[in-house]
Amino acid sequence: MIGALLLMAAQIADPGLAASAAIAQPAAPPSIADTDVREFAAIAGRKVVGRPVGGPVATADKLLILARDDKGFPDIAGSFGLPSRQSLPPPPRGTLAIIRLHQRSETIVPGPTTDDLAFVAANRIPLFVIGEWARPAPMWEVAWVDDAVRFRTIGEVGEIGPWRE
């Protein structure tokens, strides 16, 4: 908010200065994951399926935070466990997407939970949900598409399903 106010004040004082300041601002991550991020999420996320979660919460969901490395390639910037019924916290700055591995399905029809959908609605950042309860592990991409939260399946071989609400 303060940054936006300073940018507006600079624009009033010197439009040329404000334009260069706007260019220097980092771009927000896309609301739908780029192809390389989606492919990386499918490979890296499914490699983690079945690995135990260390720590005091035995039924924790695993979270992988995706960002770009210094060469511009997708990379895992961080990972941690989160109690399965806890909502996701806001993502750290620079996050491209998050992978959440659910230990078991909490929905009648397997797919993203209401917490997963609410996270994307609040943060407008892609979320990949992987179910550890089945093999091969099912995967969904949840994104902000056409002013609404939608999700689609990501198949084992990379095939992508249609967007659903």
What is the domain partition of the chain in residue ranges? 1-28, 31-153
Please give the structure tokens belonging to residue 116: 């997963």
* Model pLDDT, residue 26: 54
CB–CB of 66/119 below 8 Å?
Answer: no
Q: Cα dist. 15→3, 4, 22 in Å?
A: 16, 14, 11
CB–CB of 84/60 below 8 Å?
Answer: yes
CB–CB of 104/137 below 8 Å?
Answer: no
* Model pLDDT, residue 52: 80
Higher pLDDT, 14 or 103: 103
**CATH (residue range 31-153):** 3.40.140
Higher pLDDT, 12 or 42: 42
As a dihedral over the C-alpha atoms of residue 105, residue 89, residue 68, residue 141, rounded to 10 degrees, the angle is 30
Q: Which of 151, 147, 149 is nearest to 139 (CA)?
A: 151
pTM, 2 dp: 0.80
48-94 pLDDT per residue, tens = 998 887 777 777 899 999 999 999 999 999 998 888 878 899 999 99
